[in-house]
Chain A
Amino acid sequence: MAAPEILPEILVEDLRLTLASAAGPVDILRGISLVVEAGETLGLVGPSGSGKSTLLSVMAGLERPTSGSVTVAGQRLDTMDEDALARFRRDHVGIVFQSFHLIPTMTALENVALPLELAGKRDAVGEARRQLEAVGLGHRLEHYPAQLSGGEQQRVALARAVIATPRLIFADEPTGNLDTRTGEAIVDLLFDPERRRGATLVLVTHDEHLAARCDRRIRLADGLIAA
């Protein structure tokens, strides 16, 4: 086995994922292999249903493949159980969703502090405040998600994704629910090296303009890498 330091940050080999449906099994991913180096920014593009969000889910440890191997940050995700995956995400991953997925019963500050708290870190709230201030929400700390606009909610989600200085950031259509101007502001924050602190970024998007800002672009079609 190779030493961890010479492994790429993400190594996907012959990844397949089949889901059961009423109409019979559906092959979502049909044999994907890819390598992402540490610190790289990668754009996953392709039409709806091409499997790009599913691929992102598998790499983020949110979904387990039917077959093939996924090694992220030196760890084999395809063999881990639910709790091990949860700990892996806690320690290494930050995720931004299209629909923000903030916890509605918690204030912005509490939502952002949560990853550090789950990891048992001190001064989670203080760090959360700094993160929110950095994304321009210093005046919205005690607001609940329902009291925030879509753009503000996504900025909270972004602050939450980066607070634990993850090695990897996964973003699934982060601007999909936002208007163009708000979306651009979010993307600026996402690509800001200060915020990213060298993390690997994997971005799923429909937006070619956004994908163009990545170091590399991979196009998926019908569960396979097309280009």
Chain B
Amino acid sequence: MTDLRLALRLARRELRAGVRGFRIFLACLVLGVAAIAGIGSLGQAIDRSLSDNGRALLGGDVEARLVQREATAAEMDGLKARAETVSTLRQMRAMARLQGGAEGRTLVELKAVDGAYPLYGTLKLEPAMTPAEAFAVKDGIAGAAVEETLLARIGAHVGDLLAIGDTRVQIRAVILDEPDKGAEAFALGPRVMVALDVLPATGLLQPGSLVNTAYHLRLAPEAAPQAVTKALEAGFPDAGWRLRTRDNAAPGIAQFVDRLGQFLALVGLSALVVGGVGVGSAVGAHMATKTRTIAILKSLGAPAGLVFSIYLLQVAILALAGIVMGLALGIAVPALLAGAIGDAVPVPVALGIYPAPLAVAAGFGFLVALLFALWPLARAREIPAAHLFRDLVAPDRVWPRKRFLVATAVLLAALIGLALAASADLAFGLWFILGTLAVFGLLRGVGALLVRLAAALPKPARPEPRLALANLHRPGAATGAVVLSLGLGLTLMVAVALVQRNLEGQVGERLPTAAPSFFFVDIQPDEAADFTALVQGTPGTADLRMVPSMRGRIVKIKGIDADSYPVKPDGRWALRGDRGITYAATPPEGATVVAGAWWPAGYRGPPLLSFDAALAEAMGISVGDKITVNLLGRDIEATVANLRRIDWTSLTINFAMVFSPGMLEAAPHTFLATVRATPEAEPAVFRAVTDRFANISVIRMKEALETVDGMLRRLGAAVQVTAGVTLAAGLLVLAGALAAGHRRRLYDAVILKTLGATRAQVLRVFVMEYAALGLATALVALAAGTAAAYGVVGGLMRAEFSFDLATAGLAAGAGILLTVGLGMAGSWRALAARPAPILRSLT
């Protein structure tokens, strides 16, 4: 205790000299901690706002959603018995055509609501009016509220008439805010909202049409939503409805935010680890200046333990300061970014202080600071008192004691443990950590290799390259630190840039030449022949393909309820609600059977199933297993006959589940069709189909892809910003490493000038040194970043990976430029200086 107090007193006394040498140390910690705290706080703030607004987002306390059918009278009674109010909504995709002179028409997301809508929140309209006013029938025509984008797309105005299927509605208002929109899947067209009783008149409600019916329940204030869903599940086990409560109103968004948040937090952690390198070298540099002090302390009788405590306390005090500053910045991040994320989240972000992510960030900060500071501190501990009386200039090579090696291992384990604990997806977290460790190790190795290589290379005859080469391998050279600090940041940058480039490529450039131009949805069986004739009769079309389509839900796998069946994360989507199903006599295109065999031609036996091979892997399904699918309320058990490897990127129609013929033909269903059209023929196809068939929805591939592309772009921007933080941390460390060598370079420059070297000669030495460092680092970062991007694109996303030379070249160039630039920034003064004053200050 006395020792600790003494250590604290001595530590404080030393800190009085200022923290100049610790600026990089502080900056690294502040940046890393702020990144982790900020990302965590933002995630929590979004979670909080989603749950705070759960009722409005969901549209009720409980929602029961049915696909392709309405609730039976008994089911309706069951809903009403448990709620104060039940509101009914039906949604589908449809074509809307502007009536009058203009020819505008487009795919819309049609939503029909009853008089109780919305149960919670407000439907904001412009001009201001109530939903009842907007949807009222005037002069025999019902009203509609539409999204602004619809007006722009088809050139319509408030007051114009829209034809939807067989009926017409009048645009009465523009929707400014639709409270329950955020909870829905992404939209392929603008919203058109009408009264529920308009829907039958459209003629779009055909058997097999893709219509969702949702029942929103307002519960009594004391009723628990979970109790209601449990009761509904128990009361109607075969209803096949999807029940959601206000606590989980937007599971898609919540999950997306969680996943992205986790990923970004790991990226933030890598920034902190890069910063850790800076922490380590700052402490190392600080301890190097303390050699004399330590020797004096020891010669006066201070034991090694006390010496260690003094400097450990200094580091701890400074780390605490850095962490507190980082947390303060982190708290401000959600407020700063709230505007930028704007419409990506359907509700305003709930700003506030969230202790959990702050605690995690602080924990990371302390562990990283200690981990990286321990080594130089432990070495300083071993400096002998005799150092004072030794004439030699050579630095003492001391190895820390064994217990510090153990402590380092423990700290590292704790850091990895915390990273895994903070990451919900254990496998992803583990991969990320392993990847970071691998890159860390690789860069360390490359740094060491570069030093050895520089030492082993034959010495160039000319003094400039020789000096540059010598600077790379001299004792205390910044080579290792530069390669590591710049390398980690650059690696991440290359990986992110390449992943993003590949994603953009997937959507934009990699579109197969045979990709269809249109998707046609909701073709009724009796329209199939006319539709085929019409499309094939339009010049410029090719490859018309039509397949039957229905919706079904997997309810049992190998006899186990789907709810309790264990599925890997990447297969969970298939159990979430209804999935598209088809039947076929022959294997679909764009897929190859990889296990089992396709059913024989003319097969009419018990239902067989062809299953997506990737999904089967995630679900642990193999040929011969039984799967039960609920189809329009009826359970059908089928045996898996084969597994197909599907190439989704071919953009041909494909289904995860294909049934054998014989069983499903009788069920009500519609057809899906695709067709390829030349760009010139596209408008004609669009017009011909929408003119002739009011009920068939036409999705233009180009527009759908643009929607996806926009989402990917936003996602990419978020990832890039975070990767930028890592690069910034790397630059800080780089600047620190180069600054540490500044005195030495100044000295070299002055001696060279004293001996008669011109400024140009000295300049060449420095440029050669930094360019070699930057080039080596950039090459390693390029290789490691490409490997990581390949892993993400090829492994995680199962997409084809392509290397992009421009991206690669940019990264390499940036690496060299940054190193030379930062290095020269520090050396410029040395070049301009007159030798005498500096020689004076050096003696």
Residues of A whose CB lies within 8 Å of any CB of B are 53-54, 57, 62-64, 82-83, 86-91, 93, 95, 97-99, 101-106, 110, 114-115, 117-119, 145-147, 149-150, 160
Question: Smallest distance from the beta carbon of B831 to chain A beta carbons, Å?
Answer: 9
User: Of B394, B744, B758, B837, which contacts A146 at CB under 8 A?
Assistant: B394
Could you pull out 22 A-B pairs where Cβ atoms are within 8 angstroms?
A53-B840, A54-B836, A57-B839, A62-B839, A83-B760, A86-B753, A86-B758, A89-B754, A99-B842, A99-B843, A101-B754, A103-B747, A106-B470, A110-B459, A114-B463, A118-B463, A118-B755, A118-B761, A119-B756, A146-B393, A146-B475, A150-B391
- Is B835 in the interface zone, CB < 8 Å from A? yes
Q: How far is the CA of A89 from the CA of B842 in the complex (A)?
A: 20
Residues in A with CB closer than 8 Å to B300 are none
Could you tell me if A90 and B756 are in contact, using CB atoms closer than 8 angstroms?
A: yes
Question: Smallest distance from the beta carbon of B841 to chain A beta carbons, Å?
Answer: 11
Q: How far is the CA of A128 from the CA of B467 in the complex (A)?
A: 17
Given A104-B474, A146-B393, are A62 and B842 also a contact pair (CB < 8 Å)? Answer: no
Known: A95-B754, A145-B393. 14 other contacts (CB 8 A): A63-B835, A82-B834, A87-B756, A89-B756, A91-B756, A99-B842, A101-B747, A103-B467, A103-B752, A104-B474, A106-B470, A117-B463, A118-B463, A118-B752
Could you tell me if B758 and A103 are in contact, using CB atoms closer than 8 angstroms?
A: no
Please give me the residue from chain A that is nearest to B473 by CB atom.
A105
Given A89-B756, A160-B755, are A101 and B463 also a contact pair (CB < 8 Å)? Answer: no
Could you tell me if A110 and B466 are in contact, using CB atoms closer than 8 angstroms?
A: yes
Could you tell me if A115 and B755 are in contact, using CB atoms closer than 8 angstroms?
A: yes
Could you tell me if B748 and A105 are in contact, using CB atoms closer than 8 angstroms?
A: yes
User: Of A53, A62, A115, A146, which contacts B835 at CB under 8 A?
Assistant: A62
Residues in A with CB closer than 8 Å to B757 are 86, 90, 118
Residues in B with CB closer than 8 Å to A88 are 756
Question: Smallest distance from the beta carbon of A100 to chain B beta carbons, Å?
Answer: 10
User: Of A87, A102, A150, A160, which contacts B758 at CB under 8 A?
Assistant: A87
Given A86-B756, A89-B756, A118-B757, are A101 and B471 also a contact pair (CB < 8 Å)? Answer: no
Contact with A along B725-769 (1 / 0, CB 8 A): 000000000000000000010011001111111111100000000
Residues in A with CB closer than 8 Å to B470 are 105-106, 110
Question: Smallest distance from the beta carbon of B393 to chain A beta carbons, Å?
Answer: 4
Question: Smallest distance from the beta carbon of A30 to chain B beta carbons, Å?
Answer: 18
Could you tell me if A105 and B471 are in contact, using CB atoms closer than 8 angstroms?
A: yes
Given A87-B758, A105-B471, A145-B393, are A62 and B834 also a contact pair (CB < 8 Å)? Answer: yes
> In chain B between 443 and 483, which residues have their CB closer than 8 angstroms to a CB of chain A?
459, 462-463, 466-467, 470-471, 474-475
Q: How far is the CA of A102 from the CA of B761 in the complex (A)?
A: 18
Contact with A along B379-396 (1 / 0, CB 8 A): 000000000000111100
User: Of A82, A93, A104, which contacts B759 at CB under 8 A?
Assistant: A82
Could you tell me if B755 and A146 are in contact, using CB atoms closer than 8 angstroms?
A: no
Residues in B with CB closer than 8 Å to A106 are 467, 470
Q: How far is the CA of A103 from the CA of B464 in the complex (A)?
A: 13
Residues in A with CB closer than 8 Å to B748 are 103, 105
Residues in B with CB closer than 8 Å to A99 are 842-843
Question: Smallest distance from the beta carbon of B803 to chain A beta carbons, Å?
Answer: 38
Q: How far is the CA of A98 from the CA of B842 in the complex (A)?
A: 11
Residues in A with CB closer than 8 Å to B462 are 117
Q: How far is the CA of A160 from the CA of B754 in the complex (A)?
A: 12
Residues in B with CB closer than 8 Å to A64 are 834
